[in-house]
C-alpha cells in the first residue's frame, strides 16, 4: 500500500534567482533560503519514491486557448527554464501518474492529462530548491490560479483528499509539495476580457498567443512584473500559517476567489496548492519553518511542512 510520507508548502519567486543582489532585507531572505534547505533535508530524510508537486503555471505551459482547472502530467515533463530555474526534461514516473489520473477521475475529481507537460517556475522553483541533489521522479499537478473562473477552494480540498486515497492504492512512498503563495499582488488584469491599460493588453495578448513562443513576450512581461508596487498582507500570512500549525486550513475551503483576493491579493489565489497538499495530509497540524514578507520579491515568502506520521497516530 502506498503512503504520503511528508507534505511541504513553500513560496516561489524567480526574483529570488535574478534579484538577490538587490535584496534589502537580507536577514529575511537568508532565513527563507535556509528554511528551503531545511525542508529539502526533510524530504531527503524520508527517502520518497516520487514527489507530487502541486503548483501553478504562469502562462508558459498553459494559455487562454485552453486552461483546465486541474492538469496532471502523465508523461514527459519539460521545464521552461525561465529566470535561472531548471530547464529541460525532468525525471518522471508515468505509470504512477497515469494511475493517479484514473483514480482521481473515478473518484469524481476530473483532471486533464498531459503527456508532454511544460512546467514553469510554479513548479520548477520547488525542483530547484526543495529537490536539490535528490534523485527522485516528479509528478506535476497544475492548478489554475490565474485565469478566471478558478476552481473553488472546496474543489481543491476534494482534489487533495482524493489524491491521498489514490496514492494509498499505489505502492509508492510519496512526498507532496505545494508551491506558491503566500500573499502578493501581481500586475495582471483582474479581468482578462477587459484590460485596463497597454500593459494589461500586452499581457492578455501574451496569455492568448504565447503557446510555443512564450519567450517572445518574456522581456516586456518581466519588466512589467519587476516594476510592480509590492503589495503583501503579512497579517493574513501569519494567520494562514498559524492555522496550518493548528491543522485548521480546512476553514479556507469556504472562501470565494473574490474573498481570497481581497485579503491576500491576486497572487494569494496560489494558496489553493497549499489546500490540496494539506487536504492530502488530512489537515494534520504542521510546523512553520520560516515566514518573511519580501517586498523585493513582491511576495510573502513562507515555508512549512506537515509530518504524515501525525496522521497515522
96-105 mean pLDDT? 98
Whether pLDDT at 308 is above 80? no
Distance of CA 208 to the CA centre of its chain: 22
Show the cell assigned to 192. Answer: 482578462
40-52 mean pLDDT? 98
The pLDDT value recorded for residue 212 is 83
Segment holding 175, helix H or strand E: strand 173-179
The pLDDT value recorded for residue 68 is 96
Question: Whole-angstrom Cα distance, residue 238 to residue 153?
Answer: 19
Mean pLDDT for the chain overall: 94
Q: Report the SS3 class of residue 32.
A: helix
The pLDDT value recorded for residue 313 is 43
Q: Which domains does the chain have, with CATH numbers?
A: 3-184+230-312 (3.40.830.10), 187-227 (no CATH)
pTM: 0.95
Please answer whether residues 5 and 173 qualify as being in contact, where contact means their C-beta atoms are separated by less than 8 angstroms.
yes
97-105 mean pLDDT? 98
Residue 182: pLDDT band with limits 50, 70, 90: very high
Using a CB cutoff of 8 Å and minimum separation of 24, what contacts does 82-86 make? 82/14, 82/120, 82/121, 82/218, 83/14, 83/15, 83/17, 83/18, 83/121, 83/222, 84/14, 84/17, 84/18, 85/14, 85/17, 85/120, 85/121, 85/124, 85/125, 85/127, 85/128, 86/124, 86/127, 86/128
Q: 142-169: per-residue pLDDT in tens?
A: 999 998 899 999 999 999 999 999 999 9
Show the cell assigned to 154. Answer: 472546496
Q: Where are the alpha helices (DSSP H) in the chain?
A: 15-18, 26-46, 94-106, 121-130, 153-168, 198-209, 215-226, 234-246, 257-264, 271-280, 308-312
The pLDDT value recorded for residue 43 is 98
Q: 73-92: per-residue pLDDT in tens?
A: 999 999 999 999 999 999 99
Please answer whether residues 164 and 282 qualify as being in contact, where contact means their C-beta atoms are separated by less than 8 angstroms.
yes
158-181 mean pLDDT? 98
Amino acid at each position: 500500500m502506498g503512503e504520503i510520507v511528508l507534505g511541504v508548502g513553500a513560496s516561489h519567486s524567480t526574483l529570488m534567482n535574478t534579484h538577490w543582489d538587490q535584496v534589502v532585507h537580507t536577514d529575511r531572505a537568508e532565513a527563507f533560503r535556509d528554511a528551503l534547505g531545511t525542508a529539502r533535508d526533510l524530504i531527503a530524510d524520508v527517502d520518497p519514491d516520487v514527489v507530487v508537486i502541486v503548483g501553478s503555471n504562469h502562462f508558459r505551459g498553459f494559455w487562454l486557448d485552453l486552461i483546465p482547472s486541474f492538469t496532471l502530467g502523465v508523461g514527459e515533463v519539460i521545464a521552461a527554464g525561465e529566470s535561472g530555474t531548471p530547464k529541460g526534461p525532468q525525471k518522471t514516473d508515468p505509470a504512477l501518474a497515469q494511475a493517479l489520473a484514473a483514480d482521481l477521475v473515478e473518484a469524481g475529481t476530473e483532471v486533464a492529462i498531459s503527456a508532454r507537460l511544460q512546467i514553469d517556475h510554479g513548479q520548477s522553483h520547488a525542483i530547484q530548491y526543495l529537490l536539490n541533489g535528490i534523485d527522485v521522479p516528479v509528478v506535476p499537478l497544475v492548478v489554475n490560479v490565474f485565469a478566471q473562473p478558478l476552481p473553488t477552494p472546496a474543489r481543491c480540498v476534494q482534489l487533495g483528499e482524493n489524491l491521498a486515497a489514490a496514492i494509498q492504492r499505489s505502492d509508492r512512498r510519496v512526498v507532496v509539495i505545494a508551491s506558491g503563495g503566500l500573499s502578493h499582488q501581481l500586475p495582471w488584469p483582474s479581468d482578462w476580457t477587459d484590460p485596463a491599460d497597454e500593459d494589461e493588453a500586452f499581457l492578455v495578448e501574451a496569455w492568448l498567443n504565447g503557446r510555443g513562443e512564450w519567450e517572445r513576450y518574456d522581456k516586456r512581461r518581466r519588466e512589467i512584473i519587476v516594476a510592480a508596487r509590492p503589495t503583501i498582507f503579512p497579517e493574513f500570512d501569519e494567520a494562514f500559517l498559524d492555522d496550518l500549525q493548528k491543522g485548521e486550513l480546512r476553514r479556507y475551503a469556504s472562501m470565494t476567489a473574490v474573498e481570497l483576493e481581497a485579503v491576500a491579493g491576486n497572487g494569494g489565489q496560489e494558496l489553493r496548492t497549499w489546500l490540496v497538499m494539506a487536504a492530502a495530509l488530512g489537515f494534520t497540524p504542521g510546523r512553520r519553518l520560516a515566514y518573511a514578507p519580501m517586498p523585493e520579491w513582491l511576495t510573502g515568502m513562507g515555508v512549512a511542512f506537515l509530518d504524515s506520521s501525525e496522521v497515522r497516530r
